[in-house]
Structure 1
Amino acid sequence: MTRVKSATQPKLSIVFLNYNRLAETRYTLEQLSWLWEQRHDIEVIAIDNGSTDGTKEFLQTQTHWVQVIYLPNNSGIAGYNEGFQQAQGNYLLVLDDDSHPVDHITLDRIIECLDTHPEIGIVACRIESIQGQPLSTWHLPQPDTPGLSMAFVGCGFAIRRSLFEQVGWYPPEFFLYQNEIEVAIRVLCQHYKIYYDPNCRIIHRQSPLGRTHWRRVYYPTRNTIWIIRRYFPLPIAAYLITSRLCFGLIRALQSFELAWYYQAVKEAFFTPIEPQILSPQLRQQLTIFLEENSILHQIFKRLRSRSG
């Protein structure tokens, strides 16, 4: 890793992970460079997860302004943790290699919010398309107005570095998907709030590279069941797990990935999990998560949308 020396300690560390998406990494750094050039309170950290497509070589040409960490193999989201640990800022802005902030206003609002509201642990950003339209996701509040949120989207959120370290960074065993929900729950358990600010705007270009069908079957199925087993009591957990098994099976049949579904289910149940059952008050804050993992709720939701 090459460090950029700075006269002042950065307030905000912008951290993103790269893996075999050279074009997206180039574009993201182009967008970040003009922000970095005009500020003295940010740093940019790029982690390469063992890319073989020229991304590593490109990043080597950017070390005059980007702190680069090279990992030998693709370790999934665990690669982020290497960057988080090296970050010098009080706050971390976490991106994907295909996302970037719209402007300086986003950075200013993140810093101001976390500076002036000690009860807020995470700022969830508005995730939008290149055309400026909000991307639909259950992780963020509806309607699109400022307020408390149950969760955040991993391609655009800010978190207190000390808090992230306290809750153990991203869970490396997840590798991919649902890690944001695990972190959100841990943050809520520490009695911090997650605040959604639609004026903190992140463009997500949604590159399809690397998003293979088997990953969308295997990791969401396994990781979601892990979360349910850890935090929810019977009989709620039994119902949610049954629902998640149905959702995973449907996706596996659609994408012809039954072998990966079987592997996900096996690991979901045979991996030891230390229970940390949430209080009723905390479970109430996770109502949207419960609804998203309820097969009856999803059926009624579809019926209402068709009748409406």
Structure 2
Amino acid sequence: MKKVSIVMLAWNRKEDVRESLTRIAEIEYDNYEVIVVDNASTDGTQEVVKTEFPHVNLIEMSENVGIKAYNVGFEQAKGDYIIIIDDDSFPAKTAMRRMVKAFEQDPQLGVCAFDVRNYYNYDDINQDIDNEEGVKAIPRDYYMGFNGAGVGVRKDVFKQIGYYPEEFFLYFNEMDCAYKIWDAGYKIEFFSNIVSYHKYSPANRASWRAPFYYTRNAFWLIWKHFPTNTAIKATAKLIYNCFYYSMEQKTNIYLKAMWDAFKNSSKLKGKRKPVSKEVVEKLRNPLNIAFTFYR
């Protein structure tokens, strides 16, 4: 039986972490470990993990370093496969067993994208996962990304592409990995019968952090992965959109993010590796998602 590592990143969500770890204990699979990387929480999250879940491998960061902390957990993971979750999400009981089966059946499957469902509709949607075989989404005209609130990855493939982009801090880290995974010759596929539950938070949408980091990182995605001609055109379009939506929505957050992208572009030194034209054209990339938060 293949070993699976569940890696959670936590930051000031003590009660959510408690519930997620309680739910994880109900998983129907025998060979797995749980790693919680805490990003210097101040609400007692570390104490909850230590006292109530002593079997969990707790890694305590000295400061909040964003998604970089995930990579610490990924590197320590001993499993053949890794399940990535947020501190307010958890896999369904059957998810791990079904994920392992999917990986074992297809050596080219690099990422198993879960059906990430809204936890607040748990009672309504918990009845829909009885199908062992599920429905695998295989689109013909585009490539899929994945949601980091519930996803399985091959450890060796994930290590090969360098895990999450530490310079991003927050957001678009999954998309950065998707470019590299497809370009490396592996697939990302969605399975309807492999489920995780996530507490979607309206508060996150009201914060400046999402539009800022989505905008800044959109520039960096382009500069890291797009072929030169495509990158020039995409950058020009994104600059135009930053000015347009700043005026439309009466905010300067997009301009601040754009300035930060150019000012700190040195963080990308040595990390540019253009992917194939096919990957750029086929991978669904919501570069304009940042401009929807203030509407």
> 1: distance between equivalents of 2:257 and 2:10?
25
Pairwise CA RMSD: 2.7
After TM superposition, the score normalised by the length of structure 1 is 0.79
Contact 2:7 2:70 in 1 (8 A): yes
Q: Does 1:192 align with 2:189?
A: no
Give the number of aligned pairs.
Answer: 272
**Distance change >3 Å, CA 280–CA 255, structure 1 → 2:** closer
Residue 51 in 1 paired to residue 41 in 2? yes
Percent sequence identity over aligned pairs: 32
Equivalent AA in structure 1 for residue 56 of structure 2 = V
Kindly report which structure 2 residues correspond to 1:41-120, keeping only aligned pairs within 5 A, or say none: 41-104=31-94, 106-120=95-109
**Distance in 2 (alpha carbons) for counterparts of 1:117 and 1:264:** 40
Residue matched to 1:15: 7
Match of 1:263 in 2: 256
Q: After TM superposition, give the deviation of residue 122 of structure 1 in Å.
A: 0.5
Q: Which residue of 1 aligns with 2:198?
A: 204
- For 1:158, the equivalent position in structure 2 comes to 152
- State whether residues 217 and 252 of structure 1, in contact with CA within 8 Å, keep that contact through their aligned partners in structure 2: no
Between 1 and 2, higher relative CO (CA 8 Å, sep ≥ 6) is seen in: 2
The TM-score, its normalising length taken from structure 2, stands at: 0.82
- The answer to whether 1:283 aligns with 2:265 is no
Partner of 1:199, secondary structure, is strand
**CA-CA distance at 1:78 after TM superposition:** 0.7
SS at match of 2:26: helix
Q: CA distance change for structure 1 residues 251 and 155 in 2, over 3 Å: closer, same or farther?
A: farther
Task: Specify the alignment match of 2:118 in structure 1.
Answer: 129
In 2: Cα distance, 1:234 partner to 1:224 partner: 16
**Range moving further from structure 2, 224-233 or 44-53:** 224-233
Cα 1:203–1:248 shift into 2, 3 Å: farther
- 2:243 touches 2:255 (CA, 8 Å); kept in 1? no
